Amino acid sequence: TNHRNVVKFFGCCLQTQVPLLVFEFISGGTLSDHLLLLAGEGVSPLSFEDRLRIATEVAKALSYLHTEASITIFHRDIKSSNILLDERNTAKLADFGASRAVSIEQTSIATAVQGTFGYLDPEYHQTGRLTEKSDVYSFGVILAELLTGQLAIPRRENNVVRHPVMDFLAALKENSLFKVLDPLVLQEGSREAVERIARLVEKCLKLSGNDRPSMREVEDELEAVRSNKTKADDTMASGKTSTRGIRTGQHSFGRQFPNDDGTDFSNTGTMSNLGGTTASSEAAGTSSTMQYSVEMELSLLGEMPR
């Protein structure tokens, strides 16, 4: 492929005992390295603007693979360690070892389940049918990682399996998103931008693939968030009133935040519609629209091969 956000494949060498594939070298490490500050000495945290741009670039790459490439490709192993960053922190989607190519007429393919636990689409895990929406689910996990600064791989704490994505969804439902957001996101992200991205995460992580957006729709939403952010930044630069919550003494992530002088101020509202499904919609909903539950996560954890 010739997409700027997909690692370029140059060729292969068949004159060795084990055939070699040759790809372009990307020097900046992986997205997971940067989230954990492991890419090297002196690495600084990714700014909120960088995180939003990286998310948009990965969405563009996946949208291209799903709808614009000469043959449709489902990546099947979208995760932060498969997103490389160059010296300018431009995102490059890599590692197509698990990917599957399908004809234009196909919308799904039956295949042995493959992927990385924590990023794996639960519907694909249960049915063995891979679709473009499987990549959408995995991308939603990455969006959650960018907001929380925590990798999505389940970990055991005090004999309890913790899943950062499940914690994110729970906080979303309880209107306490501030508890799981990266402090840098709280500091740099506007209320509107964070709110829209959090809603997008929720949509991408729907249990049923039919309820998830396409990658093109995800790309369009992220572009809209970036466009609004640029307009807001231009407004700030022109000296007009800032809409950035913390800087103006106002934020809406469910608690009081201190002003620059250390005093507290009251919220001007709550994270509207960020509490997940309402009680009335839960009563009317079906299992196909349920969020991926913690119980299901633990069940799948026990079923995954070691």
Percentage with pLDDT > 90 across the chain: 45
244 SS3 class = coil
Beta bridge partners, 157, equal 160
Count Cβ atoms below 10 Å from residue 220 Cβ, excluding itself.
Answer: 15
Q: Judge whether residue 29 has pLDDT over 70.
A: yes
Place of tokens 């103006």: 248
Q: What is the pLDDT of residue 302?
A: 44
Task: Burial-class residue 239 by CB neighbours within 10 Å (0-12, 13-18, 19+).
Answer: exposed
* Segment 175-184 mean pLDDT: 92
DSSP E strands in 83-220: the ranges are 83-85, 91-93, 100-102, 108-110, 129-131, 155-157, 160-162
Q: What is the pLDDT of residue 9?
A: 82
Q: What is the pLDDT of residue 36?
A: 86
Q: What is the pLDDT of residue 43?
A: 66
Q: What is the pLDDT of residue 279?
A: 37
Would you give the DSSP letter of residue 101? E
Of 18-32, 34-48, 101-115, 265-279, the least confident: 265-279
Domains, the chain, with CATH or none: 9-234+266-303 (1.10.510.10)
Task: Burial-class residue 104 by CB neighbours within 10 Å (0-12, 13-18, 19+).
Answer: exposed
Q: What is the pLDDT of residue 106?
A: 78
Residue 160 Cα distances to 144, 148, 157, 164, 172, angstroms: 21, 20, 5, 13, 21
Of 64-73, 149-158, 225-234, the least confident: 225-234
Q: Judge whether residue 173 has pLDDT over 80.
A: yes
Residues annotated as catalytic are: 77
Q: What is the pLDDT of residue 272?
A: 36
Q: Which residue has the higher pLDDT, 265 or 163?
A: 163
Q: What is the pTM of this model?
A: 0.75
Predicted confidence (pLDDT) per residue in 284-303, tens digit: 333 333 344 444 444 444 44
**Do the Cβ atoms of 6 and 64 come closer than 8 Å?**
yes
* Segment 90-102 mean pLDDT: 88
Q: What is the pLDDT of residue 180?
A: 93
- Rounded Cα gap, residues 93 and 289, in angstroms: 29
Q: Give the pair of three-digit tokens for residue 140.
A: 């939603």
Which run of H or of E encompasses 23? strand 20-23
* Average pLDDT of the residues of the chain: 78
